[in-house]
Amino acid sequence: MKSRNYIIRTIVFLAIVFAVQYFFIASVPDIVFFIAKYRSGKPLNTVIQAPKTDAKLRKVVLPNPDFVYNAVFYDLSKSDLIISGEFPDTSQYCSLAFYGDDVQPYQVMNNLTSQPRTFRFHLTQRNGNTVVVSPSNQGAILMRLLVTSEEQYKNARRLQKILKVETLEK
């Protein structure tokens, strides 16, 4: 009887260990997304124009000092969004990446392949034409602008200010 209880307890113990590690590993992207959103210190659906990347920037790990970033943490639960802005010419690399709440990219565009240079996207969770379809209610958009000269830095700052997020009633 005692040995049967011991076996049952061992099985229960191992099941709890397995369940905890499974759910913790599965939750890492959600936890990290929540922390990144919280540390941004800005409301959802607004553009965060990050300053030039240096050692003072400690919001997201492994920042690239050659890039100037614009970020938007979005929430589509109350309204769709219109994202508009402008890419630089092809001498200065720029990308616009859309991430779900699992911090995995679901859509990326860059100025080397996208025409015209100005862009305007309808961000929604519903399928349709000329829209970017988010896999989750919340997510993030990251605009990366490569800066290798003072002139490119000035241009990046100008383009940072052009990126707009507008809410669109559902």
Partner 1 sequence: MKKILFLFFAVVIGLAVALYRIIDTDSSKAFFHNGSWMGSNSLPLGKNNLLTAQVTLFALFALPSEEAIYLFSRKDESGEFLDGKNDYTLSGNVNQIKAKYWSITAYGKDLFLIPNPADKYSFNNSNLQTDSAGNFSIIISAKSHSGNWLPIKSNKRFNLVLRIYKGDSAFVSQLSRTSLSEIKRVSI
In whole angstroms, the minimum distance from the beta carbon of 169 to partner 1 comes to 29
In whole angstroms, the minimum distance from the beta carbon of 124 to partner 1 comes to 21
In whole angstroms, the minimum distance from the beta carbon of 43 to partner 1 comes to 19
CA dihedral 123, 100, 107, 70 (to 10 degrees): 80
Burial class (CB in 10 A: 0-12, 13-18, 19+), 83: buried
Residues that bind partner 1 (CB under 8 A): 9, 13, 16-22, 24-26, 28-29, 32, 36, 53-55, 57-58, 60-66, 93, 95, 97, 99, 102-105, 108, 110, 112, 140, 142, 146, 148
CA torsion through residues 147, 153, 159, 160, sign: positive
Nearer to partner 1, 1 or 25 (CB): 25
In whole angstroms, the minimum distance from the beta carbon of 29 to partner 1 comes to 5
Nearer to partner 1, 15 or 168 (CB): 15
